[in-house]
Amino acid sequence: MKNERSKRPEYLKAGLERLVDRMSVTPDVFDPGLESIISAETRISEVEELYLYHGYPIADLARESSFLETAYLLIAGELPSLDFLADFQTWLFGDVAAGPIVDALLHSANSSTRSDSFLGNLIASAGAVLEFDSQVADDAFMGEFARLMALSTLGLSTIYTPQASVDFSESGSDAVGDGLDSDFSFAGNLLLRLTSKRPTDEQERAFDAALSVLADQGIDASTFAARAVISGGGDFCGALAAAAATCSGSVHAGPRFDIVAPLFELSSVDEVSTFLDGRASDFRPIDGFDSRSMSTDDSRLELLREMCDVMASETGRRDFERIARCFEEAVRGQFGLQPTIYWHLSRLFEYLGIPQNAYRAVTIVARLPGWAAHACEQRTHNQLIRPRGRYVGPERRKLPDFSTRG
């Protein structure tokens, strides 16, 4: 009895705090974009002002660690030990169990397949063979996640480099080819299977950094979709597939060829001002720039500028990059808009030779760790997400007779 009484104050305190939290929520707030609503507290990332993953500056991670290390950090909360990193790579570069459902989907892909939609379906189908039952990022969970990453990369090769894909389920086996090539990093494998060319060390490093920068973008529409699925007790791969489907939408932020397309219309820096005047007179937006953007001290922007400069030099695109720099300064001066990370990432993808219709698919692969991290966090501290809707339809009316319906 005495022990029971000693526990009551803490129990009551927790209950009162929860009650106060509920009472402090302003009722009937109408915000269709939910931008004024804080839907979750997260320890994973801050990408509005501080640009951190679990407290580490994103630019530092992109410069000094690998995408695989960043992926582990996002999900587990700490950087991996050397031993665990070795295990993670073993899982990643091993054979990937496909199963009949995934195998059928892989066989159906060809060069005309829309890669982002295909990837979303592949991730959803992987739920039939991969098990993400653990509530924590233990070995079993991370092993399955590594296989999902490998499967996504190998799946894209069936669209962009089919000659690199080995027959699936040959002789009754469910292994997808021979897995990834251990001579390259994960980023190098993805780049190789998108371009059919062996990447240079600089290209591999630049792409690895780009994937780290993309890995999590906070609680945006795609992350919210993943969290909503998990909040209802949904399947883990289903949550990632929902995020992928949202990310593939035309207005979801991310690298796009449309962002760099205007640069192909310009043959010199002298044409930039006239081009932008035309955009302004036609009230056409300038993709890749934002008035709400990220502050100018975002260290990710400087890192990506450097990467673009290096890749432009390596690929003989210095003139193109010079026009891009002039374009950026002109947009800032004429419209007061700041570049987003997608302005630089889209150029970097162009220099790396990534197919124009693969930008979204690459973004989906890069963001899998971030979505997985948010899904885990939601599952650990779950509360059903259930925003309300406001009815604006007709007032109550009588059901008409069948003969009087128009």
From the number of C-beta atoms within 10 Å of its C-beta (0-12, 13-18, 19+), residue 42 rates as middle
Domain boundaries, the chain: 55-250+356-380, 257-352
> What are the structure tokens assigned to 289, written together?
């720039």
Q: For residue 266, what are the contacts with CB-CB under 8 A and spacing of at least 6?
A: 272, 275, 323, 327
pLDDT at 10: 60
> What is the pTM assigned to this prediction?
0.88
Q: What is the pLDDT of residues 265-296, one digit of tens each?
A: 999 999 999 999 999 998 889 999 998 655 56
pLDDT of 40: 86
Phi, psi of 58 (to 5 degrees): -60, -40
The 3 state secondary structure assigned to 156-216 is: HHHHHCHHHCCCCCHHHCCECCCCCCCCCCHHHHHHHHHHCCCCCHHHHHHHHHHHHHHCC
pLDDT for res 35 = 77
pLDDT given for residue 101 in this prediction: 86
Point out the residues of the chain with pLDDT beneath 50: 1, 5, 166-177
Share of the chain above pLDDT 70, in %: 87
Cβ atoms within 10 A of the Cβ of 81, count? 10
* Percent residues over pLDDT 90 in the chain: 72
Per-residue pLDDT reduced to its tens digit, 317-342: 999 999 999 999 999 999 999 999 99
SS3 call for 140: helix
Average pLDDT over all residues of the chain: 89
- The tokens of 406 are what? 């128009």
The hierarchical CATH code for the domain 257-352 is 1.10.230.10
* CA nearest to 68, candidates 236, 189, 201, 235: 189
| Per-residue model confidence (pLDDT) at position 166 | 42
What's domain 55-250+356-380's architecture? Orthogonal Bundle (1.10)
